[in-house]
Amino acid sequence: MIRACLTALALVLPLAATAGEPRGTGDLGVVIERASGSVLVVDQSDRAALCRVEGLGDLSHASLTFSPDERFAYVFGRDGGLSKVDILTCALTARIVQAGNAIGGAISDDGRLVAVSNYEPGGVKVFDADTLEQVADVPMGSKTVGLADVPGSRFAVATWDTGEVWVLDHSADPADPRITRVGGVGANPYDALMTADGRTYIVGLFGEKGLTTLDLWQETPQPRRILPDYGKNQADLPVYKMPHLQGWTLAGSTYALPAVGLHQVLWADAATGRETGRTDVAGQPVFVTARPDGRELWVNFATPDNGTVQVIDSMTQGVKQTLQPGAGILHMEFTPRGREVWLSARDDDKVVIYDTRTYRKVGEIAARAPSGIFFTARAHRTGL
Amino acid sequence: MIRACLTALALVLPLAATAGEPRGTGDLGVVIERASGSVLVVDQSDRAALCRVEGLGDLSHASLTFSPDERFAYVFGRDGGLSKVDILTCALTARIVQAGNAIGGAISDDGRLVAVSNYEPGGVKVFDADTLEQVADVPMGSKTVGLADVPGSRFAVATWDTGEVWVLDHSADPADPRITRVGGVGANPYDALMTADGRTYIVGLFGEKGLTTLDLWQETPQPRRILPDYGKNQADLPVYKMPHLQGWTLAGSTYALPAVGLHQVLWADAATGRETGRTDVAGQPVFVTARPDGRELWVNFATPDNGTVQVIDSMTQGVKQTLQPGAGILHMEFTPRGREVWLSARDDDKVVIYDTRTYRKVGEIAARAPSGIFFTARAHRTGL
């Protein structure tokens, strides 16, 4: 009988094991493993990997966003795949291939809608966050870039082919968004950025110099050009990559942003949109990321300088630290209150962890060709 | 045998049930039930109460802070009680009475230390966040107020009797903090506020007019007086309550704050510390709280106007909505991206939930004399 009972118990215990010890999700995160179509779930407090979820398709250019409960990650793959990952149970909950070629996505401020911007066939598709069933399809006659959430069940996106910004308002009817189109944004938007308050949408242009901002607090937002000289300055200058606008940062009332093709970080006044200074750095900057308190900016670089990371003092605007955290540093993510920074060292197959006060390495985690690192605190912020 | 097995299973199943379905903690929250020494754990997504935890002592003036994983709430009671509540399993994990009379607390940016500021016997005590064992005891010869976390395992606190600010730096040795004392802050600090970047510490004064700010980015912070006329203006004016500085808000580069004893909200330029305008409102304001996007400010009032809530447009500085959400509105908490606001209606024994775009009530939850509402997203922010 004891054996029979133990067998019966064995049938029950795995359930308990699946449910697992209760755990909070506020200190979890997801690391994209770009070459293997997998993600690694990590624990900030233990500086450890928890598990790997595979089968997410082409993650060579991937991003993700979190559900408001910080339990589910929606992963946007280059191949048009939209995957929903349960980071608590370490399972791929749902996966669809919703387009031929996609570039990113966002989740609405009520957590109910997930939107994806597509290169092929273009436009934006919107899905139910629970089921991934399609809720709306908004063709725009263009590739779309820089999709971001806007407060009030809205999304903003820029159109590469037509130089517009579309704001989709799903608050009245999720399936039939009210559309605001703003034209004259500029030639070939290639990326865009939403400020943390959801007010200012900044569009980067590939087809001309400068950037365009929109004030979404206005009833009919008007394009406003800033940094009119921003872009490629010399015809013979090798630009390895147009910097993502996610590489921008706002420290106080000053933007810090990567120069295009130059070994410099630019400073611009947020109110006037005018350049106010430059800092020489170790290579072509990719991400200029403020530590959450804004006191320092951490900068990584394009190849061949992508083994270096520099720290800039936001008060003096001078470089105060030069670090060599590993080979192929692709991304940096701060813990929410800025105590540590996690860096993906793609070519070392690991994530390295630094204390942001002592600049000492405090941990590392094995990962397969890691790229983006995303902590769950993003769930609570607009534009991420 | 079947019955015996079922008995054996019954012994196992409650464990699985305790572990419960896995759930994220990013959308949870805790409501203080001030009269009954209990807290209600709530779910933002479902607009529902999950469970009640009792036995927390005197919560007539209570606050709390969350662990970085958003699983544990540290509740600071008026009676010197420090309670650790597991909001996932709904259990009181640990409780100590660490002083005779306490006023609030904070958690360090590495999540390892919980500090409490005390009226009786004064000073600050620091505890291990896991076990609640005492780590450090810092007598200051004074009652202390306005304790807040500062980046880098630090805490700031103001001293009522001696008019100082102490900054405790626990980064080298948790048990023996390095202490920076700043004198000349002003007569009888009664509360203080840390800005979200952990840079500016604002001290309210009971013994004289005006407020004092400290720039904690400076090596030796110097007291700087702002709003020199702030305080009680007329000898015969009834002031029901000195407003908490947590009732202040920073919208863009402008502070909005409750006037003392007047039916007005004051506006001040953050850079100069000078008053720039006033808005007439329905009563003596208590909390002036910015919606997370900064577009609106929601204001509640002292008795006899505490059934009213007003919404101010931060661009026009005019009142745009007057609501009557319930009786005895003590506190307001926005969902992290600002889609809803939860209000505690103490005298109606309920929490009411409003959509911040339509101003319509979208839910309510029974609660016993609710006061403070705290959502877990606070875990990721400095100074909360």
Q: What percent of chain B has pLDDT over 90?
A: 79
Which region holds residue B34: left if phi is over 0, alpha if psi is between -120 and 50, else beta? alpha
Residue of chain A whose alpha carbon sits nearest to that of B381: A337
pLDDT of residue A15 exceeding 90, the answer is: no
From the CA of B269, how many Å to the nearest CA of chain A?
14
pLDDT tens for each residue of A328-381: 999 999 999 999 999 999 999 999 999 999 999 999 999 999 999 999 999 999
Write the ipTM. Answer: 0.92
Round the average pLDDT of chain B to a whole number and report it: 91
Q: What is the mean pLDDT of residues B91-102?
A: 90
Residue-range domain boundaries for chain B: 2-236+331-380, 237-324
pLDDT of residue A16 exceeding 60, the answer is: no
Q: B5 in contact with A at a CB cutoff of 8 Å?
A: yes
Round the average pLDDT of chain A to a whole number and report it: 91
Q: What is the mean pLDDT of residues B302-330?
A: 97
Residues of B in contact with A380 (CB under 8 A): 26, 336-337, 377, 380
**How many C-beta neighbours within 10 Å does residue B89 have?**
16
**A-proximal residues of B, 94-113, CB under 8 Å:** 109-111
Contact A68/B19, CB-based, under 8 Å?
no
Collapse the DSSP code of B53 into the 3-class scheme (helix H, G, I; strand E, B; otherwise coil) and give the result: strand
Q: Which two three-digit tokens encode residue A335?
A: 């813990």
Residues 6+ apart with CB under 8 A from B195: B201, B202, B250, B383
Q: What is the mean pLDDT of residues B169-180?
A: 97
From the CA of B291, how many Å to the nearest CA of chain A?
10
Supply the pLDDT for residue B260: 86
Collapse the DSSP code of A238 into the 3-class scheme (helix H, G, I; strand E, B; otherwise coil) and give the result: coil
A325 DSSP assignment: -
Choose among B111, B253, B295: nearest Cβ to A253. B253
C-alpha A140/C-alpha A177 separation (Å) is 13
C-alpha B335/C-alpha B358 separation (Å) is 15
Residue type, A22: P
pLDDT of residue B154 exceeding 90, the answer is: yes
From the CA of A152, how many Å to the nearest CA of chain B?
7
From the CA of A45, how many Å to the nearest CA of chain B?
8
Contact A70/B67, CB-based, under 8 Å?
no
Q: Which two three-digit tokens encode residue B42?
A: 């709530």
pLDDT of residue B9 exceeding 80, the answer is: no
Residues of B in contact with A22 (CB under 8 A): 19-20, 22, 71, 86, 88-89
pLDDT of residue A12 exceeding 90, the answer is: no
Q: Is the dihedral of CA B169, B72, B291, A148 positive or negative?
A: positive
CATH code for B2-236+331-380?
2.140.10.20
Model pTM above 0.90? yes
Which region holds residue A219: left if phi is over 0, alpha if psi is between -120 and 50, else beta? alpha
pLDDT tens for each residue of A57-112: 999 989 999 999 999 999 999 899 999 999 999 999 999 998 887 789 999 999 99
Give me the residues paired with residue B34 across strands.
none
Peptide bond just before B336 cis, omega within 30 deg: no
Q: A355 in contact with B at a CB cutoff of 8 Å?
A: no
The better pLDDT of the pair B234, A105 is held by A105
**A-proximal residues of B, 300-319, CB under 8 Å:** 315
**A-proximal residues of B, 180-219, CB under 8 Å:** 197-199, 217
How many CA atoms lie within 13 Å of B295's alpha carbon, on the beta-carbon side? 19
**How many C-beta neighbours within 10 Å does residue B303 have?**
12
Q: What is the mean pLDDT of residues A231-238?
A: 60
Contact assessment for residue B29 and residue B78, using Cβ atoms and an 8 Å cutoff = no
Residues of B in contact with A69 (CB under 8 A): 23-28, 45
Give counts: helices (H), strands (E), chain A.
1, 32
Give the orientation angle of helix A2-19 with respect to helix B2-19, to 10 degrees: 20
Q: What is the mean pLDDT of residues A289-313?
A: 96
pLDDT of residue B19 exceeding 90, the answer is: no
pLDDT tens for each residue of B275-296: 999 999 999 999 999 999 999 9
Range of lowest pLDDT (A16-25, A120-129, B87-96, B252-261): A16-25
Residues of A in contact with B336 (CB under 8 A): 68, 379-381
A143 DSSP assignment: -
Q: Which of B51, B178, B254, B339 to mutate to test the interface with A (most CBs of A within 10 A)?
A: B339
Instruction: Strand A350-355: give its sheet, edge to edge.
Output: A329-334, A340-345, A350-355, A361-366
Supply the pLDDT for residue B236: 54
Residue type, A71: R
Q: What is the mean pLDDT of residues A14-24?
A: 59
Residues 6+ apart with CB under 8 A from A121: A99, A100, A139
Range of lowest pLDDT (A231-240, A305-314, B155-164, B243-252): A231-240
Residue B247: pLDDT band by 50, 70, 90 thresholds? Answer: confident
Q: B1 in contact with A at a CB cutoff of 8 Å?
A: yes
Q: What is the mean pLDDT of residues B24-32?
A: 98
Range of lowest pLDDT (A240-244, B139-143, B188-192): A240-244
CATH code for A237-324?
2.40.10.480
Contact B26/A380, CB-based, under 8 Å?
yes
